[in-house]
Copies of this chain bind each other. A is one copy, B any other.
Amino acid sequence: MPIPKATAVLATNVVVFTIRDERLVALLVRRPRDPYAGLWSLPGGLVGDEEGLEDCAVRTLRDQTGVQGLYLEQLYTFGSPDRDPRTRVVTVAHFALLPPARLKGELADECNTRRWAPVDALPALAFDHDRIVAMAHQRLAAKLEYSTIGFQLMGERFTLSELQQVHEIILGETLDKRNFRKRVRSLHCIEETGDWYRAGNHRPARLYRLKQPGAVEFIK
Q: Give me the interface of A with B, judged by CB distance under 8 Å.
A: 1-10, 45-53, 56, 59, 63, 74, 76-77, 79-81, 88, 90, 92, 142, 146, 218
Contact = CB atoms under 8 A, between A and B. Distances in A.
Given A1-B59, A9-B7, A49 B88 contact: yes
Contacts of A63: 1
A98 B49 CA distance: 37
Contacts of A1: 59, 63
A81 B50 contact: yes
A218 to B, nearest CB: 8
Contact of A51 (B2, B46, B77): B2
14 contacts: A1-B59, A3-B48, A4-B45, A4-B47, A4-B51, A5-B47, A7-B7, A7-B8, A52-B80, A53-B77, A53-B79, A74-B76, A74-B77, A77-B92
A35 to B, nearest CB: 15
A130 B102 CA distance: 39
A46 B6 CA distance: 6
B9 A6 contact: yes
Nearest to A10: B8
Contacts of A6: 9, 46
B74 A52 contact: no
A194 B72 CA distance: 50
